[in-house]
């Protein structure tokens, strides 16, 4: 089974509402899709979303990286899978989202060649999952309305985007908390918006009012590892690292410092499935639970994340894979079921997604 061609296409779909964080605003999904074809007619699909503020990659940069890597893979046998993965990562540095898109397509192909769903090929058994949904940053009244609408759709965990002025953020969170039924869990994501001192002041303000979120995600700049530790030592709210963790090296440093409570794994940051699995194993060794998240990607990449979650279900206990639910229309064919907060993997070979 030999790779005969690798090409890219663009996947486009409107969002139901703009996706707004402290770092960016997105009005429509536009990702790259990697399509790998083999001499036996099998096709594998991968996907990556541009997040220049986080990974440094634009659509054009990802397409160029895939074009650069492809000659090293074309003509190679899929039976040498581990060597293909090593080559993909060794011929160019960084470009983690482009590498992830290629990896997803390769894993899709490998699972298809073995006539297994990817999650089962990776050793997973769990098929059904529940994700949170993101509430974009905006005016407080609008955020309350979107939160209440999410509850009517069946979500019981909301991820609230904040990270502007800490005092305003505190008022937003308190207002949303007061408006929601008591069984709803809140996750907070500041996207590097605050200083360590601001983070502590805000979280202690919430805690004094009895509001302890499931976690606060990446409140300080990605490189401020000491700042994360400073926060963790002073608040009750669990701390989750996102942009601070791209690699095993990043995670190990945080874990050795005991600077965080949880790690957010994203395929676009790790460079794909192989590194995400290794990161989950590292966290398991440190007895740290993980969340698996996404970068506002479409069904291909989100499905890949769910397959990884199944493979490492003992460590990946939280899902933030709501990107498909944020789309106004679905741009792919899917055997995987995306029904708002509920995602169910299909018993079909590969990812269960096609164009």
In the predicted structure, residue 20 carries a pLDDT above the cut 90: no
pLDDT tens-digit map of 99-117 = 999 999 999 999 999 999 9
| Cα 39 to the center of its chain, rounded Å | 32
Domain ranges of the chain: 3-115, 120-354
Whole-number pLDDT of residue 197: 98
255-300 pLDDT tens trace: 999 999 999 999 999 999 999 999 999 999 999 999 999 998 999 9
Question: Would the pLDDT of 210 be above 90?
Answer: yes
Cβ atoms 244, 228 nearer than 8 A = yes
The catalytic residue positions are: 161, 266
199: CB partners within 8 A, 6+ apart? 166, 190, 216, 219, 220, 227, 231, 235
Residue 25 phi/psi, 5° resolution? -130, 130
What pLDDT, on a 0 to 100 scale, did the predictor assign at position 24? 82
Say yes or no: do domains 3-115 and 120-354 share a fold: no
pLDDT in tens, 27-36: 899 999 999 9
Q: Is 90 exceeded by the pLDDT of residue 23? A: no
What is residue 330's predicted lDDT score, i.e. its pLDDT?
84
Fold (topology level) of 3-115: Enolase-like; domain 1 (3.30.390)
Q: Are 243 and 54 in contact (CB under 8 A)?
A: yes
User: Does residue 69 contact residue 92 with C-beta atoms inside 8 Å?
Assistant: yes
Backbone angles phi, psi at 199, to 5 degrees: -60, -45
| Domain covering 120-354: architecture | Alpha-Beta Barrel (3.20)
Q: Which of these, 129, 246, 271, 275, lies nearest to 263 by C-alpha position? A: 246
């Amino acid at each position: 089974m030999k790779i005969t061609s690798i090409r890219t296409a663009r996947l486009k779909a409107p969002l139901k509402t703009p996706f707004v964080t402290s770092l960016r605003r997105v009005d429509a999904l536009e990702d790259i899709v990697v399509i790998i074809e083999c001499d036996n007619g099998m096709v594998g699909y991968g996907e990556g979303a541009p997040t220049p503020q986080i990974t440094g990659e634009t659509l054009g940069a990802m397409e160029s990286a895939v074009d650069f890597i492809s000659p090293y893979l074309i003509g190679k046998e899929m039976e040498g899978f581990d060597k293909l993965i090593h080559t993909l990562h060794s011929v160019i540095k960084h470009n983690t989202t482009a590498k992830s898109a290629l990896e997803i397509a390769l894993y899709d192909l490998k699972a298809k060649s073995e006539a297994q769903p990817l999650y089962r090929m990776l050793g997973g058994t769990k098929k059904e999952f529940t994700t949170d949904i993101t509430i974009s940053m905006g005016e407080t009244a609008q955020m309350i309305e979107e939160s209440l609408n999410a509850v009517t759709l069946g979500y019981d965990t909301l991820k609230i985007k904040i990270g502007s002025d800490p005092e305003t953020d505190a008022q937003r969170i308190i207002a949303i908390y007061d408006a929601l039924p008591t069984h709803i869990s809140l996750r907070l994501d500041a996207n590097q918006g605050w200083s360590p001192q601001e983070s502590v002041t805000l979280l202690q303000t919430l805690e004094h009012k009895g509001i302890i979120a499931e976690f606060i995600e990446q409140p300080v700049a990605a490189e401020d590892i000491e700042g994360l530790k400073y926060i963790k030592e002073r608040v009750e709210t669990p701390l989750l690292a996102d942009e601070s963790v791209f690699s095993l090296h990043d995670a190990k440093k945080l874990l050795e410092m005991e600077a965080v409570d949880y790690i957010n794994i994203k395929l676009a940051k790790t460079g794909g499935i192989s590194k995400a699995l290794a990161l989950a194993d590292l966290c398991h060794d440190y007895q740290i639970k993980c969340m698996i998240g996404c970068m506002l990607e479409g069904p291909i990449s989100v499905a890949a994340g769910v397959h990884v979650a199944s493979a490492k279900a003992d460590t990946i206990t939280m899902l933030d894979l709501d990107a498909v639910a944020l789309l106004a229309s679905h741009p792919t064919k899917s055997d995987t079921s995306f029904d708002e907060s509920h995602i169910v993997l299909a018993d079909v070979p590969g990812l269960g997604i096609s164009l």
